[in-house]
């Protein structure tokens, strides 16, 4: 599976947009980008995923660059409850497992 890199920690003011970057420069054409988050020892929570096109759902938006080597997760109006560790995962079509790697710890500040 392609490796992902992202900043170990970020802060965001409450009510502002949180933009979480992720680099996946070795991604191949059939690999999807997934975002999950984990709030203090709870089960990881699915946020969004995409292949090539930008995606939006009720939680977030996913912007994938045209060359697919990086992506950004956008939480449009961060709240204190969005404080969590966010994982960017690239998933191959040859396996079912997710390799979580080291996430980005997002702290939303009042």
Partner 1 sequence: AAGVIQSPRHLIKEKRETATLKCYPIPRHDTVYWYQQGPGQDPQFLISFYEKMQSDKGSIPDRFSAQQFSDYHSELNMSSLELGDSALYFCASSLPGFHYEQYFGPGTRLTVT
94 and 100 Cβ atoms separated by less than 8 Å? no
Contact status: 44 vs partner 1 (CB under 8 A):
yes
* Element housing 47 (H / E): strand 45-50
CB 62, CB 88: distance < 8 Å: no
CB atoms within 10 A of CB 14: 14
Instruction: Give the footprint of partner 1 on residues 16-35 (CB under 8 A).
Output: 32, 34
Minimum CB distance to partner 1, residue 13 (Å): 27
One residue of 6, 24, 68, 91 binding partner 1 per CB under 8 A = 91
| Site size with partner 1, rule: CB under 8 A | 25
- Cα–Cα dist 33/53, whole Å: 11
Given 10, 49, 63, 72, the residue binding partner 1 (CB under 8 A)? 49
Write out the residues near partner 1 by the rule CB under 8 A.
Answer: 32, 34, 38, 41-46, 49, 51, 87, 91-103
């Amino acid at each position: 599976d392609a490796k992902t890199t992202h900043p170990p920690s970020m802060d965001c003011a409450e009510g502002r947009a949180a933009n979480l970057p992720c680099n996946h420069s070795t991604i191949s054409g059939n690999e999807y980008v997934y975002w999950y988050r984990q709030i203090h020892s709870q089960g990881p929570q699915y946020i969004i995923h995409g292949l090539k096109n930008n995606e939006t759902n009720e939680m977030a938006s996913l912007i994938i660059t045209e060359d697919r080597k990086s992506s950004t997760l956008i939480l449009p109006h961060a709240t204190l409850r969005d404080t969590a560790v966010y994982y960017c995962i690239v998933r191959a079509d040859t396996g079912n497992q997710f390799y979580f790697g080291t996430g980005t710890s997002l702290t939303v500040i009042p």
